[in-house]
Chains A and B, each alone.
Chain A
Amino acid sequence: MNIIALIKQTPDTAKLSRTLNGLQLMADGQPRIVNPWDEYTLETALRLKEKHGGKKVTALCLGNPESIEALRTAIAMGADEAILINDAALANADSLGTARALAAAIKKIGAYDIIVGGRSAIDGNMGATAVQVATLLGVPMLSYVAALNAVNGGAKSISVVRAMEYGRETVTSTLPCVMTVVKEIAEPRYPNFMGIRKASKAVIPTWKLADLGLSAADVAAKVTWAVDLPPTRDTNVEMIQGSPAEQAKALVDKLMAAKII
């Protein structure tokens, strides 16, 4: 079985002051990380290889040249190969354009059995790309997978548990398929030192749109949006000192002064 892990590099939203420009969450100069949901993607892909008879894990990422670092992390965690899709025409791609490029790259990779993605990326938060990849490839889509029941590469079948708001669903599907995973699937591993050394020396190919047989028009954004962010709130922390009784009195005074009680 060949496993493809779709990963994305995103801004570290914990350290981000949010500004929006068109479709992209702009974060120039901000630290970038592997999309936290994709750490589960990678862990799932690696477990499919280690415990369910997988042969090879390929990490695939569409992003800017710096995204190569996310792919190095994937190799450090245990991915066998990594490929970056980077093209200026993809800079403002929407999820459909992204899915088209990913699907073309997956076809170029060739043999695949399971394509794994995260439930969404923390920047765009659409959760749409993997679904569109499945549609473009014409294979089943298993979303919100929380557990792997059984995977049979020979019989080309898979049984998974989906985490739904109302409960759990057990779904059986044929392979190949695309699945997106949620947090419960498995705790992501740390990269080990041997993996880090391997990753630091790895040569990671970059594919352009032309390598995928696509044109800029094929991936041009079809969707535009405007976002209203809630106004930022000015919060203050004030430490009240004194004995517990004094603190309680001071707190009540302040809450009354603020007309909260």
Chain B
Amino acid sequence: MHQNNPMSTQPITRNSPAHAMLRAAVRDFVQTELDPHAEHWEKQGIWPARDVLKKMGDLGFLGLSYPEAYGGGGADYTFNAVLLEELGHAVPMGATLGICVHTDMATPALAQHGNEDLKQRYLAPAIRGEIVSAIAVSEPDAGSDVAAIRTRADDDGDDYVINGSKMWITNGAQADYLCLLAKTGSSGGHSGSSLIVVPTNTPGFSVSRKLDKLGLRDSDTAILSFDNVRVPKTNRIGEEGKGFQYQMQQFQRERLAMTLMSLGSMERCIELTKKYLKARKAFGKPLGHNQFIYFKLAELISEIEALRYLAYECVSQYAAGQDMTRLASMAKLKSGLLSRQVADMCLQFHGGMGYVEEYPIARYFRDIRLWAIGGGADEVMMEVIAKYEGLGPKGK
């Protein structure tokens, strides 16, 4: 999938001059190309995926750890981690989540298991930023319970005929292709589904509607409908019936990606709050001189740093080609819980100013709430961790 070498005995480096330069370049990009548009995109209810992805594709940011044969950077995953952490600092978090879907959720399985033709037609243009991708797994009745999906891809000669619907699909209103999980066999559960690349210009595909969300309002999250959508079987990613397995692998990267982004976003929230606490005076002294406030912030910053090093360990394991499901699930859980605490406390320390949209904290509070739900809810992470620990009915 990416340029990992499980056999390598070289330690994974996260802090080379190239990492530092990439970090600076992405930060600059975020501040110049994304942040100034945050309010406008929020009002529009959509980010201009095509424009932004093209700019990022031209800079080589969309395929940092994908093979050079498809236009990728050929680097190890640690570079992708730098990209995600820096994207996390952006104000328009819906846009950056959309970017993250494109780089880390809708393309990894295609890169790892897709056939050559499929990779040339979809992965390479996705890396160049010429097309927009989305991952279509969740359904109205199957969000975290992936095995319960109902969308079917029925066998019809050389084609699949797809019927059903998908929900909560980020980039759903403007994606050019979907990485779709659908039932392909008669058996239920884990073994009867496949991942299929579905171009959104195929007859029978439609966007039912864009969802009106609490936060991340600059992101187009949609319900998608499939009415006898016919795609060739060659659009299937890897083997038939292995879709669930591939998607479980893809989820690992998704969980880590969301954790890395949350680090950047929490850092931004803390910085905004620090600045406010220095400037705002109450009872004759800066607000930040209240012991409760600075103790609480010290505690939150310590927790963020602890999460950062847990995430970095996941990055190292993933870059070394190891299974990091257990740690990545812990990191994602902690990310969801901690993001909520950080947003809540930082808003509280802003007082009334935190409750009005003139200050960025209100938007952050709404936006970050997804982190405990999307990409596997906190409770799903707890199930996974409990299973590893031999706890609960699924524990051995």
Chain A residues in the interface with B (C-beta under 8 A): 69, 72-73, 76, 190-194, 196-197, 199-200, 236-239, 241
Q: How far is the CB of B142 from chain A (nearest CB, A)?
A: 37
Residues of B that sit less than 8 Å from A by CB: 16-18, 21-22, 25, 28-29, 58-61, 64, 73, 75, 79, 279-281, 352-353
B25, A200: Cβ atoms closer than 8 Å: no
Interfacial chain A residues near B28, Cβ < 8 Å: 190
Distance, CA A76 to CA B64, complexed state (A)? 15
A residues in contact with B279, CB < 8 Å:
236-237
Would you call the interface of chain A mostly helix, strand, loop, or mixed?
A: helix
**Known pairs A193-B60, A200-B21. 15 more at Cβ < 8 A?**
A72-B17, A73-B21, A190-B25, A190-B59, A191-B25, A192-B59, A192-B60, A193-B73, A196-B25, A199-B18, A199-B21, A200-B16, A236-B279, A236-B281, A237-B280
Q: Is the CB of B75 within 8 A of A197?
A: yes
Question: Quick one: closest A residue to B64, CB to CB?
Answer: A193
A69 to B18, CA, bound (A): 11
What B residues does A69 contact at CB under 8 A? Answer: 17
User: A76 is contacted by which of B21, B79, B281, B353 (Cβ under 8 Å)?
Assistant: B21
Q: Are B29 and A194 in contact (CB under 8 A)?
A: no
Which A residue sits closest to B352, measured CB to CB?
A241
Expressed in whole angstroms, the minimum distance between the Cβ of A36 and any Cβ of chain B is 12
Minimum CB–CB distance for A171 against chain B, Å: 31
* Complexed CA–CA distance, A196 and B23 (Å): 10
Most B CB contacts (10 A, CB to CB) among A193, A237, A241 go to A193
Which of A197, A200, A236, A241 gathers most chain B CB within 10 Å?
A197
Given A72-B21, A192-B60, A239-B280, decide whether A197 and B29 contact each other with a Cβ distance below 8 A. no
A235, B22: Cα distance in complex, Å: 36
CB-defined A-B contacts under 8 Å, sample of 7: A190-B25, A190-B59, A193-B59, A193-B73, A193-B79, A199-B21, A237-B280
Q: How far is the CA of A199 from the CA of B73 in the complex (A)?
A: 14
Query: Would A194 and B17 be within 8 Å (CB), given that A76-B25, A236-B281, A241-B352 are in contact?
Result: no
